Amino acid sequence: MTDQMYHVALASRPSGAPTAENFRYEARPMPVPGENEVLVRVHYMSLDPYMRGRMDDAKSYAKPVEIGATMEAGAVGEVIASNSPAFKPGDFAFGMFGWATHGCLKANLLRKVDPTQVPITTSLGVLGMPGFTGWFGLTELGKPKAGETLVVAAATGPVGSMVGQVAKSLGLRAVGVAGGADKCRLAVETFGFDACLDHRAYATAADLRQALAAECPDGVDIYFENVGGKVLSAVVPLMNNFGRIPICGMISWYNAGGLGAGASDPDITAPALWRNILVKFLSVNGFIISNHFDRFPAFMAQVAPKVASGEIAYVEDVAEGLENAPAAFMALLKGGNMGKQIVKVI
């Protein structure tokens, strides 16, 4: 075991879209596990849109990453040293190790991952936080009913693809939105969406709305919100009475000047949004999956066997090398990935 590891630190806060200068790849001393701590050599690390929010110092549901500190991430790897009876070297564990080659955490902050049923990468996507987010948000907050129509954007991402597949399994019509013809094909052919629209093919929210209306002849009952912006603006006027909008993200606005009261959007205004909620009796619920970890065992019990059997599909996009994580992350925020974005660390 060497006495050095590597991590990616937040070098500076971005204004707008992050750039390479906001990140710093550097060596740091290898941690030594203390009491009840476990040292893990990271194999795969997750990249997720929420990390953009951690780079700002705006008040949010989570603290910002400090300048100079390790960028936050969930990751999975092999235990190489353990001072906990719960883990032994050779075990695989998921934890919030950050953008780093190694991580050292208390055992109670780790989740053991069984590498024999499904690949360990699934703990980052389809069977990790994103898949759980899609499953929980749709089933608990979306209140889906057979015959209804659902719209979700980023339809080939790990959240959207779970939402679409669960919706289909419950008898809903599932219409996706994604960026590019390849993603739309993937959404329909691999994830079973009834239709998927390429938002890049529509210059305005009104154009996208018209195309969505054609694919949603009975209106939209559930809009699973993970992007905001043009898609939100397109969908909201199509919502049916008593529709539900679970909100787990708004990636299109993440670079919008910190999203303070000053940030605006050309497509939709606050009064228009509010009016739609009022006159259609919508139920809009923001959530973060970390408030609902009590439901994780139920999620795994229900979904893991379907992933193992292939009934639930997943697609991963793997970047090679921790030093390339910033570039992969910047691409992710622009929709450059296809499926769940992962970084292979070793």
Query: Where does this chain bind a second copy (CB under 8 A)?
Result: 59-61, 225, 228, 232-233, 237, 241, 247-250, 253, 256, 259-265, 267-288, 291
Least gap, CB of 341 to a second copy (angstroms): 21
Of 5 and 251, nearer to a second copy (C-beta) is: 251
Task: Tell me the closest approach of the beta carbon of residue 221 to a second copy, in angstroms.
Answer: 15
261: number of Cβ within 10 Å: 7
Closer to a second copy by Cβ: residue 199 or 230:
230
Nearer Cβ to a second copy (94/223): 223
- C-beta of 80 vs 213, nearer to a second copy: 213
Least distance (Å) between residue 6 CB and a second copy: 31
CA–CA separation, 120 and 122 (whole Å): 5
Whether residue 42 contacts residue 102, with contact meaning beta carbons closer than 8 Å, is answered with yes
Of residues 189 and 274, the one with the C-beta less far from a second copy = 274
Give the whole-angstrom CA distance, residue 211 versus residue 164: 19
Q: Indicate the residue among 12 and 285 with the shorter CB distance to a second copy.
A: 285
Bridge partners for 95 per DSSP: 75
Residue 243's contacts (CB-CB under 8 Å, 6 or more residues apart) are 219, 220, 221, 222, 223, 280, 282, 283
SS3 content of the chain, % helix, strand, coil (to 5): 35, 25, 40
Q: Measured from the CB atom, is 215 or 225 closer to a second copy?
A: 225
Q: Provide, rounded to whole angstroms, the least separation between the CB of residue 31 and a second copy.
A: 31
Q: 283 or 324: whose CB is closer to a second copy? A: 283
Q: Are 62 and 53 in contact (CB under 8 A)?
A: yes
For the bound state, the minimum distance from the C-beta of residue 344 to a second copy, rounded and expressed in Å, comes to 31
Nearest to 70 by CA among 38, 90, 42: 42
| C-alpha span between 346 and 101 (Å, rounded) | 8
Residue 58 phi, psi dihedral angles, 5° rounding: -70, 150
Pick from 153, 169, 159, 154: which is nearest to 135 by CA?
A: 159
Q: CB of residue 274 vs a second copy: minimum separation in angstroms?
A: 6
Q: Count of residues for the chain? A: 346
Nearest approach in angstroms of CB 104 to a second copy is 29
CA-based nearest residue to 40, from 71, 75, 3:
75
- Residue nearer to a second copy on the CB measure, 146 or 261: 261
Alpha helix (H) ranges present in 79-198? 129-136, 158-169, 181-189
Nearest distance in Å: CB 279, a second copy: 5
For the CB of residue 107, give the shortest distance to a second copy in the complex, in Å. 28
Q: Is 90 left (phi over 0), alpha (psi -120 to 50) or beta?
A: left
